[in-house]
Amino acid sequence: MAEFNHLVLVKFKDDVVVDDVLQGLEKLVSEMDTVKSFVWGQDKESPDVLRQGFTHSFLMTFGSKEDFAAFAAHPNHLEFSTTFSAVIDKAILLDFPAKTVKPAA
């Protein structure tokens, strides 16, 4: 069965303390057994015209689509999503089965 990815690109509202949000997100994923891996980053290199205002990306990997569905429906995720949505100016979400071409070394 293929791994399943949840990719989120966001632009936070101007008055948000991003570090507080990131701490909450890291706490959430550390408590969820269905999250196989989690990486995030803040864009520092892309030209503004290509970034389109998005500043942060978050990628969660799950063992299966079912694991992602369990995560998405979990009460802790639903609670955090309410908080997260309130601090987002705009977002893009992509959920997709992984197609690995070159696995990590």
Q: How many helices (H) and strands (E) does the chain have?
A: 4, 4
User: Is 47 a domain residue?
Assistant: yes
Whose tokens are 């701490």? That residue is: 23
**Quick check: is 64 in a domain?**
yes
Q: Is residue 103 part of a domain?
A: no
Kindly report the CATH number assigned to the domain that includes residue 62: 3.30.70.100
16-22 long-range Cβ contacts below 8 angstroms, 24+ apart: 16/87, 18/56, 21/83, 21/84, 21/87
| Residues of the domain holding 40 | 4-97
Tell me how far apart the alpha carbons of residues 77 and 44 are, in angstroms, rounded to a whole number: 28
Number of structural domains (the chain) is 1
* pLDDT(14) > 70: yes
**CA 58 – CA 77 distance, rounded (Å):** 15
Query: pLDDT (tens digit, 9 = 90+) per residue, 78-92?
Result: 999 999 999 999 999
pTM score? 0.90
